[in-house]
Amino acid sequence: MEENITPRFFGRLKMILDRYEVSILSLVLSIISVIAFVFYYQNGLGLAYNDARSHLDIGRRVVEGLSPGFAQLGSVWLPLTHLLMTLTVWNDFMWHSGLAGALWSMISFVGTGVLIHLFLKELGVGRVGRLTGVFLFAANINILYLQSTAMTELVLLGTMTAAAYFLLLFYTRGILSFLILSSFFVMLATLVRYDGWFLLFFSSLMIFFSSFKEGGYRKAEGRFILFATLGGFGVFLWLLWNLLIFGDPLFFAFGPYSAHTQQQDLQSAGMLPTKGDWFLSAKMYFYALAYNTNAWVLALGFVGTILLFLDRRVSRNARFASLALFAPLFFNILALYLGHSVLFIQGLSGDTWFNIRYGIMMMPSVAIFAGFLMERMAGIRSVLVGTLALVFFFQFSSADAVTIDDGRVGSSQKNVTEVSTWLREHAGGRDGYILISAASHDSIIFSSGLPMKRFIREERGILSPRD
Amino acid sequence: MKYSRLSIFLFGFVCAIALLFSVRGLPGNPTAQELVTPVWKDHGPLELSPERGRFALLYSVVEDRSLFFSLPVARLATPDLARNPDGKFVSLFAPLLSFLLIPGYLIGKFFGASVVGATLVVAIAAFANAFLIRAIALRLGAGKNAASLGALTFLLATPAFPYATTLYQHHFSVLFLLSAILLLLSNRGFLSLALVFFLLVSGIALDNPNAILFLPVGLWALSRILSFRTSDTESVRVSFRPLLLFSGFFAVIPLLFFLWYNSLANGNPFTLSGTLPSVVAISSDGSPLSTDPNQIPRDRLEREASEKTAVGFFQTRALLNGFLIHLTSPDRGALWFTPVIFLGFFGFAVLFVRKEYGILRVLLGTSLLTFLLYSLWSDPWGGWAFGSRYLIPAYAMLSIGIAIALESRKRSFIFLAAFFLLFSFSLSVNTLGAITSIANPPKVQVLELEALSGKEQKYTVMRNWQALEQNTSTAFLYRSVLHRFFGAIPYGVSLFIFVVVSAFLFLYALLRESSFPSRRV
């Protein structure tokens, strides 16, 4: 018995999908995002990271405290996410639920999902490949968790993926405005995390070399200046900020609270084994990558990468532009090698996790490459879908997410329940101030639930508060 | 004699000799009390607990007429022993293999070698698998020589060889799988489809993870009943053959058996044996223990006595480690135990280029599902084992790929030479496993083991070579008769040379085919 399902039905379905695909995708991603946030809010994991609470406090100090103002943005962490938080963090619920920060992660989650879709479309990938790419990104529990927190990862992923996407558009369509858009998102990325600075360097090099090959030095110089001026504006502003507020443009890099200083402490304690060791740096990051992105998805992404760069059906320019997707990989290995970054992987470097979330930085790239593989392996697509279904089934049934473990039991967590409860019970109903070193105890301030203006921190020292 | 007959005779002869000369066992019809002695256990044919666990159920059913283990039988099965809700000792494994071995056990018992008889049933299944691979490869366009070489690769140059000589379920899983594939390739009728469903569901009663590993074949079979095809006009053609739907009823027979067993032994038709609380040891007064303080941690890498679920054994966190263990680790990795098998991917590539997607989906899908499932498994080492035993179904699929690759690349001397070198290396490794021991510890246990034993412990195939150097072989024929005439090393080397020369003959014939295509031999 054979039946034909009418072409009309499929024609209409196709028309709807063609017209509203991005809108439908955005809606679905938004729903997923909200559900994930509510889930992690209700089980309390959304604020598990010590850093998440610190980010929220920094944002809050800009609008509330003994001396509110932009100077509270500090010197070490880059300011964009904190600035964005200030729009809502004045509200106690938004502050203490973490939503003030998570909101931007959630928006970035939706945006990155859409960008993966658009990137694949620009590479000539069909609907199944595009949706697979988005699925691999959006169904990753580490991504779902981090987008539910006030951490900076998703905002960085969003801005970096946008930069890479517009760079691809520039290379495939040759329109200069896409280069400007790309540099704008690079600039945003440089104001989120230092990973963005490497992207600025990497993509500027790409622009210079490709333009040099295309039209010689003059063209390369012109495009490089165009790209790097806007792209590097955030870096310039940050150096200026450090100079104006702290008296040293490199205060963020070498100041007492900088990562550099922390890493020096770790090194003297013998806990920075990747420094000066390329192999170990690459191995550590590879493990972080595999644990975050899912080893099977990573394997598919790897095969997809090979196919993409060998595929002559994709223009040489598009393939060249796709190199930007590797910037996080190079950056993280380099940072580990130089000792500017530290990563603990349970079983590989001791018995705990720390900063394992750095491995998530390649997730959009891996999703794009795996989506491309799905397109090119159309004949065995059902096999790939089946294997992914198997792996994702067990990922969800075992609730496997290394980033949650790091925040729950790894070195990225800080359980301050006892001290913050004591503080609330003993200082909550009384007048006066609490002297605290916020640099290492921001989470106590946050968890105590007391107003920010009750705390006297480092920068005011023993000075009497004006108010 | 025509070459085709000579070819198949030579092929069968090589397989049969290799299996006969390596199959394990000792003469005698041991009782449960005798089976727990080191002669049968630690240095004998039942050296590992998965073999003992399955043999225990077989023994209990035949000798005690019961699915519940008596105390001596329970002691034999430890540490792979379970306790049902009524507190009775039962098997921790899916039951079907033990039942399939019963005829061999009885015949062996008649001849005074009950364990050998049971083990020979597995060897016969392995023998059949080699012929099935050959037949499938022939249907996919490989010539007789290429098909024979693919089949020999599976049977003798992968860890399938050592597991063809002992009481494990892997060869029966492969038998069901390959039979189903061959049936689907050869016949589109009702009966063949019914038999396919029968085999696939039987596989679950044989080894529970088969429910996932058999999915590609199952879906292929289902596509005979209901299929969707898109056309250029963007319409979808739905094909439905309702009569074939009734073929599914044949799956009910093994399903009923499985539910019956679960109900009786495990207390609930839907309780799988593996999810029961395990008993690692039994105290002298007969009470169960969940840990064994006197035993080195052999056979138990992952034993939680309670809160076990079927899904809980698999975790994505284990994937990366699983990949490395199965592929590259020196204690289990295919790279060291059967590097020749990777050539199978060339065959898959040939099928892809030929756009033979239907069969490719089954072969590749089964391979990948096997690989992934047992990489997700919290014990990818398979306890104490030889090579990556869990991948045996994948080796079978890839061996078909090897046959196809050999056929398509038969004019490439370099490819054939590479195949022969890799085949010879893989054969030597697996012959060692087949005639010595499959009890190699995982690397992660070696330090603990050395501390307990006070001597260096090897965990690679060098452990098997060490055994051979000590004139130790578990092969029944060697232990019962031939040790009087040979040392273990000449015995192993002779077996290796016999197979490698035979394989070379097939390869030579294949090379001749390509040199003189008109005079295809």
DSSP per residue over A242-302, as a string? Answer: HHHHHS-TTHHHHSTTSHHHHHHHHHHTT--TTTT-HHHHHHHHHHHHHHHH-HHHHHHHH
The yes-or-no verdict on residue A443 having pLDDT over 70 is yes
> Residue B493: how many CB atoms within 10 A of its CB?
15
Residues A147 and A143: their CA atoms lie apart, in Å, by 6
- Please state which of the ranges A50-59, B224-233, B388-397, B491-500 shows the lowest mean pLDDT: B224-233
Chain A residue with minimum CA distance to B227: A2
The yes-or-no verdict on residue B516 having pLDDT over 90 is no
Who among A3, A295, A400 is closest to B323 (CB)?
A: A295
Domain ranges for chain B, please list them. 3-283+314-519
Structure tokens at B166: 């002992």
Question: Which residues on neighbouring strands pair with residue A455, listed in sequence order?
Answer: A434
What are the chain A neighbours of B315 within 8 Å (beta carbons)? 394, 398, 400
The yes-or-no verdict on residue A120 having pLDDT over 60 is yes
User: Smallest CA–CA separation between A379 and chain B, in Å?
Assistant: 6
What are the chain B neighbours of A295 within 8 Å (beta carbons)? 316, 319-320, 323, 375
User: Smallest CA–CA separation between A232 and chain B, in Å?
Assistant: 38
| Interval A286-306 mean pLDDT | 97
Cβ neighbourhood burial of B294 (10 Å; 0-12, 13-18, 19+): exposed
Query: Which residues of chain A from 373 to 412 reach within 8 Å of chain B, CB to CB?
Result: 379-380, 382-383, 386-387, 390-391, 394-395, 397-398, 400, 402
Q: Express as a percent the part of chain A with pLDDT over 90.
A: 73
Q: Tell me if chain A has a CB within 8 Å of the CB of B243.
A: no
- B306: Cβ contacts below 8 Å, ≥ 6 apart: B277
pLDDT digits (tens, 9 = 90+) for B118-177: 999 999 999 999 999 999 999 999 999 999 999 999 999 999 999 999 999 999 999 999
- B445: Cβ contacts below 8 Å, ≥ 6 apart: B297, B298, B301, B459
Q: Tell me if chain A has a CB within 8 Å of the CB of B246.
A: no
Q: How many structural domains is chain A composed of?
A: 1
User: Smallest CA–CA separation between B229 and chain A, in Å?
Assistant: 9
- The pLDDT score that the predictor gives to residue A409 is 85
Highest-confidence segment of B229-243, B287-301, B409-423: B409-423
- The pLDDT score that the predictor gives to residue A67 is 87
* Cβ distance of A390 and B369 shorter than 8 Å: yes
Is there a domain that residue A149 lies in?
Answer: yes
Q: Tell me if chain B has a CB within 8 Å of the CB of A334.
A: no
- The pLDDT score that the predictor gives to residue A334 is 97
Is there a domain that residue A435 lies in?
Answer: no
Is there a domain that residue A466 lies in?
Answer: no
Name the pLDDT band for A11 (thresholds 50, 70, 90).
Answer: confident
User: Smallest CA–CA separation between A408 and chain B, in Å?
Assistant: 16
pLDDT digits (tens, 9 = 90+) for B432-441: 999 999 999 9
The yes-or-no verdict on residue B75 having pLDDT over 50 is yes
The yes-or-no verdict on residue B291 having pLDDT over 70 is no
Is there a domain that residue A57 lies in?
Answer: yes
Phi-psi region of B480 (alpha: psi -120 to 50; beta: other; left: phi over 0): alpha
If we measure between CA atoms, which residue out of A148, A127, A155 comes closest to residue A32? Answer: A148
Residues B145 and B98: their CA atoms lie apart, in Å, by 35
pLDDT digits (tens, 9 = 90+) for B173-224: 999 999 999 999 998 889 999 999 999 999 999 999 999 999 999 999 999 8
Q: Express as a percent the part of chain A with pLDDT over 70.
A: 97
pLDDT digits (tens, 9 = 90+) for B87-100: 999 999 999 999 99
- Please state which of the ranges A278-282, A309-313, B226-230, B473-477 shows the lowest mean pLDDT: B226-230
Token pair 């999703």 is found at A367
Chain A with chain B: Cβ pairs closer than 8 A: 95
Q: Are A321 and A173 in contact (CB under 8 A)?
A: no
| Mean pLDDT score across all residues of chain B | 91
* Cβ distance of A14 and B212 shorter than 8 Å: no
| Interval B421-427 mean pLDDT | 98
- B181: Cβ contacts below 8 Å, ≥ 6 apart: B132, B136, B217, B359, B362
Residues A275 and A263: their CA atoms lie apart, in Å, by 10
- The pLDDT score that the predictor gives to residue B3 is 73
Phi-psi region of B82 (alpha: psi -120 to 50; beta: other; left: phi over 0): beta
Query: Which residues of chain B from 193 to 212 reach within 8 Å of chain A, CB to CB?
Result: 212
Q: Are A258 and A267 in contact (CB under 8 A)?
A: no
Query: Which residues of chain A from 274 to 313 reach within 8 Å of chain B, CB to CB?
Result: 287, 290-291, 294-296, 299
* Cβ distance of A7 and B241 shorter than 8 Å: no
- B79 prior amide bond cis, ω within 30: yes
Q: Are A356 and A345 in contact (CB under 8 A)?
A: yes
- The pLDDT score that the predictor gives to residue A8 is 72
Who among A6, A380, A394 is closest to B316 (CB)?
A: A394
| Mean pLDDT score across all residues of chain A | 92
> Residue B224: how many CB atoms within 10 A of its CB?
18
pLDDT digits (tens, 9 = 90+) for A150-180: 999 999 999 999 999 999 999 999 999 999 9
Helix (H/G/I), strand (E/B), else coil: B351: helix
Strands A434-435 and A455-456: parallel
Q: What is the DSSP string of A410-467?
A: STTB---HHHHHHHHHHHTTS-S-EE--HHHHHHHHHHHT--GGGEE-TTTTTSPP--
Who among B215, B238, B311 is closest to A5 (CB)?
A: B238
What are the chain A neighbours of B237 within 8 Å (beta carbons)? 2-5
Sheet architecture: strand order including B89-91: B89-91, B81-83, B278-279
| Interval B392-398 mean pLDDT | 98
- The pLDDT score that the predictor gives to residue B302 is 44
**Segment holding B228, helix H or strand E:** strand B226-230
If we measure between CA atoms, which residue out of B144, B172, B170 comes closest to residue B159? Answer: B170
Is there a domain that residue A432 lies in?
Answer: no
The yes-or-no verdict on residue B305 having pLDDT over 70 is no
ipTM of the complex in this document: 0.90
- The pLDDT score that the predictor gives to residue B152 is 98
- The pLDDT score that the predictor gives to residue B410 is 94
What are the chain B neighbours of A5 within 8 Å (beta carbons)? 235-238
> Which one of B316, B367, B443 would you mutate to disrupt binding with A, by most A Cβ within 10 Å of its Cβ?
B316
Where would I find the beta strands (DSSP E) of B384-490? Answer: none
Residues A342 and A82: their CA atoms lie apart, in Å, by 23
| Interval A46-63 mean pLDDT | 93
Please give the C-alpha separations between residue A200 and each of A79, A324, A428, in angstroms, as whole numbers.
17, 10, 47
Q: Compare B39 and B305 and report the one with higher pLDDT.
A: B39
- The pLDDT score that the predictor gives to residue B187 is 83
Name the pLDDT band for B447 (thresholds 50, 70, 90).
Answer: confident
Is there a domain that residue A427 lies in?
Answer: no
- Cα of first residue to Cα of last residue in chain B, in angstroms, is 12
Name the pLDDT band for A396 (thresholds 50, 70, 90).
Answer: very high
Q: Which domain holds residue A356?
A: 7-408
User: What is the CA angle B3-B7-B8, rounded to 5?
Assistant: 125
Residue B41 CA to its chain's centroid (Å): 21
Q: Are B204 and B213 in contact (CB under 8 A)?
A: no
* Cβ distance of B316 and A7 shorter than 8 Å: no
Residues B503 and A311: their CA atoms lie apart, in Å, by 39
- The pLDDT score that the predictor gives to residue B248 is 85
Structure tokens at A136: 């691999």
Highest-confidence segment of A3-17, A295-309, B449-463: A295-309
- The pLDDT score that the predictor gives to residue A427 is 87
Strands B89-91 and A2-5: unpaired
Q: Please, how many CA atoms are within 13 Å of residue B199, restricted to the half-sphere of its CB? A: 25
The yes-or-no verdict on residue B268 having pLDDT over 80 is yes
- The pLDDT score that the predictor gives to residue A1 is 65
What are the chain A neighbours of B364 within 8 Å (beta carbons)? 380, 383
Where would I find the beta strands (DSSP E) of B31-84? Answer: 81-83
Q: What is the DSSP string of B293-328?
A: TTS-STT-SS--SSS--TGGGB-GGGHHHHHHHHHT
- A425: Cβ contacts below 8 Å, ≥ 6 apart: none
Chain B residue with minimum CA distance to A395: B316
- The pLDDT score that the predictor gives to residue A330 is 97
Is there a domain that residue A20 lies in?
Answer: yes
If we measure between CA atoms, which residue out of B128, B129, B120 comes closest to residue B154? Answer: B129
- The pLDDT score that the predictor gives to residue A132 is 97
Who among A6, A299, A398 is closest to B315 (CB)?
A: A398
pLDDT digits (tens, 9 = 90+) for A58-83: 999 999 988 889 888 988 899 999 99
Q: Compare A199 and B229 and report the one with higher pLDDT.
A: A199
Q: Please, how many CA atoms are within 13 Å of residue A399, restricted to the half-sphere of its CB? A: 6
Strands B281-282 and B278-279: unpaired
Q: How many residues does chain B have?
A: 521
Is there a domain that residue A238 lies in?
Answer: yes
- The pLDDT score that the predictor gives to residue A463 is 44
- The pLDDT score that the predictor gives to residue A4 is 64
Name the pLDDT band for B232 (thresholds 50, 70, 90).
Answer: low
What are the chain A neighbours of B444 within 8 Å (beta carbons)? none
Name the pLDDT band for A288 (thresholds 50, 70, 90).
Answer: very high
Q: Are B105 and B114 in contact (CB under 8 A)?
A: yes
Residues B265 and B61: their CA atoms lie apart, in Å, by 12
* Cβ distance of B239 and A1 shorter than 8 Å: yes
Residues B263 and B257: their CA atoms lie apart, in Å, by 10
Cβ neighbourhood burial of A356 (10 Å; 0-12, 13-18, 19+): buried
